[in-house]
Protein backbone atom coordinates (compact mmCIF):
# COMPACT_ATOMS: atom_id res chain seq x y z
CA UNK A 1 0.00 0.00 0.00
CA UNK A 2 1.43 3.38 -0.94
CA UNK A 3 1.29 6.31 1.43
CA UNK A 4 -1.00 9.25 0.85
CA UNK A 5 1.75 11.71 1.79
CA UNK A 6 5.07 12.20 -0.01
CA UNK A 7 6.99 12.92 3.21
CA UNK A 8 7.81 10.72 6.18
CA UNK A 9 6.75 11.64 9.66
CA UNK A 10 9.49 12.22 12.22
CA UNK A 11 8.79 8.79 13.73
CA UNK A 12 9.09 7.09 10.34
CA UNK A 13 12.36 8.89 9.60
CA UNK A 14 13.62 7.97 13.07
CA UNK A 15 12.86 4.29 12.42
CA UNK A 16 14.59 4.45 9.03
CA UNK A 17 17.64 6.02 10.71
CA UNK A 18 17.61 3.43 13.50
CA UNK A 19 17.55 0.51 11.05
CA UNK A 20 20.27 2.06 8.86
CA UNK A 21 22.41 2.68 11.96
CA UNK A 22 22.03 -0.93 13.09
CA UNK A 23 23.13 -2.19 9.69
CA UNK A 24 26.46 -0.27 9.66
CA UNK A 25 27.29 0.57 13.29
CA UNK A 26 29.74 -2.32 13.80
CA UNK A 27 31.83 -1.00 10.89
CA UNK A 28 32.29 2.41 12.54
CA UNK A 29 32.06 1.99 16.32
CA UNK A 30 33.91 -0.20 18.79
CA UNK A 31 32.26 -2.98 20.75
CA UNK A 32 32.62 -0.87 23.92
CA UNK A 33 30.88 2.08 22.23
CA UNK A 34 28.04 -0.17 21.06
CA UNK A 35 27.62 -1.44 24.64
CA UNK A 36 27.55 2.16 25.93
CA UNK A 37 24.88 3.02 23.37
CA UNK A 38 22.69 0.08 24.30
CA UNK A 39 22.85 0.88 28.01
CA UNK A 40 23.08 4.69 28.34
CA UNK A 41 22.80 6.60 25.05
CA UNK A 42 19.89 8.71 23.80
CA UNK A 43 18.50 9.06 20.29
CA UNK A 44 17.13 12.56 19.74
CA UNK A 45 16.17 14.82 16.86
CA UNK A 46 17.16 18.40 16.26
CA UNK A 47 17.85 21.10 13.74
CA UNK A 48 19.79 20.09 10.64
CA UNK A 49 23.30 21.50 10.91
CA UNK A 50 25.17 23.23 8.07
CA UNK A 51 28.28 21.08 8.60
CA UNK A 52 26.72 18.28 6.53
CA UNK A 53 27.96 20.00 3.38
CA UNK A 54 31.46 18.53 3.78
CA UNK A 55 29.97 15.01 3.89
CA UNK A 56 27.11 15.08 1.38
CA UNK A 57 28.20 17.93 -0.87
CA UNK A 58 25.38 20.38 -0.13
CA UNK A 59 23.73 22.11 2.82
CA UNK A 60 20.65 20.02 3.63
CA UNK A 61 17.27 21.70 3.87
CA UNK A 62 15.05 21.24 6.95
CA UNK A 63 12.17 20.60 4.56
CA UNK A 64 13.98 17.60 3.04
CA UNK A 65 15.74 15.99 6.01
CA UNK A 66 15.50 15.25 9.70
CA UNK A 67 18.68 15.18 11.79
CA UNK A 68 19.03 12.71 14.64
CA UNK A 69 21.86 12.17 17.08
CA UNK A 70 22.96 9.29 19.28
CA UNK A 71 24.92 10.49 22.28
CA UNK A 72 25.78 9.92 25.94
CA UNK A 73 24.07 12.60 28.03
CA UNK A 74 25.93 14.68 30.62
CA UNK A 75 24.69 16.62 33.65
CA UNK A 76 26.40 19.88 32.68
CA UNK A 77 26.71 21.98 29.54
CA UNK A 78 26.96 21.10 26.72
CA UNK A 79 24.85 18.24 28.15
CA UNK A 80 26.56 15.76 25.85
CA UNK A 81 29.37 13.66 27.26
CA UNK A 82 30.10 11.73 24.09
CA UNK A 83 28.61 11.93 20.60
CA UNK A 84 28.58 8.67 18.67
CA UNK A 85 26.83 9.65 15.46
CA UNK A 86 24.70 12.29 13.79
CA UNK A 87 22.24 10.91 11.28
CA UNK A 88 20.57 12.67 8.37
CA UNK A 89 17.34 10.90 7.45
CA UNK A 90 15.30 11.87 4.37
CA UNK A 91 11.74 13.12 4.68
CA UNK A 92 10.99 12.06 1.10
CA UNK A 93 9.47 8.58 0.97
CA UNK A 94 11.01 8.03 -2.48
CA UNK A 95 14.53 7.71 -1.00
CA UNK A 96 16.01 5.46 1.66
CA UNK A 97 19.49 7.06 1.62
CA UNK A 98 20.60 7.87 5.18
CA UNK A 99 23.83 9.80 5.85
CA UNK A 100 26.07 9.43 8.91
CA UNK A 101 28.59 11.66 10.67
CA UNK A 102 30.56 9.30 12.94
CA UNK A 103 32.00 10.60 16.23
CA UNK A 104 31.19 14.24 15.48
CA UNK A 105 32.71 16.96 17.64
CA UNK A 106 30.61 18.21 20.53
CA UNK A 107 29.67 21.85 20.17
CA UNK A 108 30.13 23.85 23.36
User: How high is the pLDDT of residue 33?
Assistant: 97
Could you tell me if residue 66 is inside a domain? no
Could you tell me if residue 92 is inside a domain? yes
Could you tell me if residue 63 is inside a domain? no
Could you tell me if residue 46 is inside a domain? yes
Domain holding 25, by residue range, is 10-56+73-102
Could you tell me if residue 24 is inside a domain? yes
| 75/100 Cα distance (integer angstroms) | 26
3-state secondary structure of 90: strand
Could you tell me if residue 47 is inside a domain? yes
Could you tell me if residue 96 is inside a domain? yes
pLDDT band at 3 (very low <50, low <70, confident <90, very high): low
User: How high is the pLDDT of residue 2?
Assistant: 59
**How many structural domains does the chain have?**
1
User: How high is the pLDDT of residue 52?
Assistant: 94
User: How high is the pLDDT of residue 8?
Assistant: 95
Is it the case that residue 106 has pLDDT exceeding 90? no
What is the pLDDT averaged over residues 27-44? Answer: 96
Could you tell me if residue 1 is inside a domain? no
User: How high is the pLDDT of residue 44?
Assistant: 93
| 108/88 Cα distance (integer angstroms) | 21
Pairing state between β 99-102 and 42-46: unpaired
Amino acid sequence: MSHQYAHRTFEEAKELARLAFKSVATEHLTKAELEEISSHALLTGGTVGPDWEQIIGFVPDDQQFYELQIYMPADEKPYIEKSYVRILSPRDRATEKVHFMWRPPICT
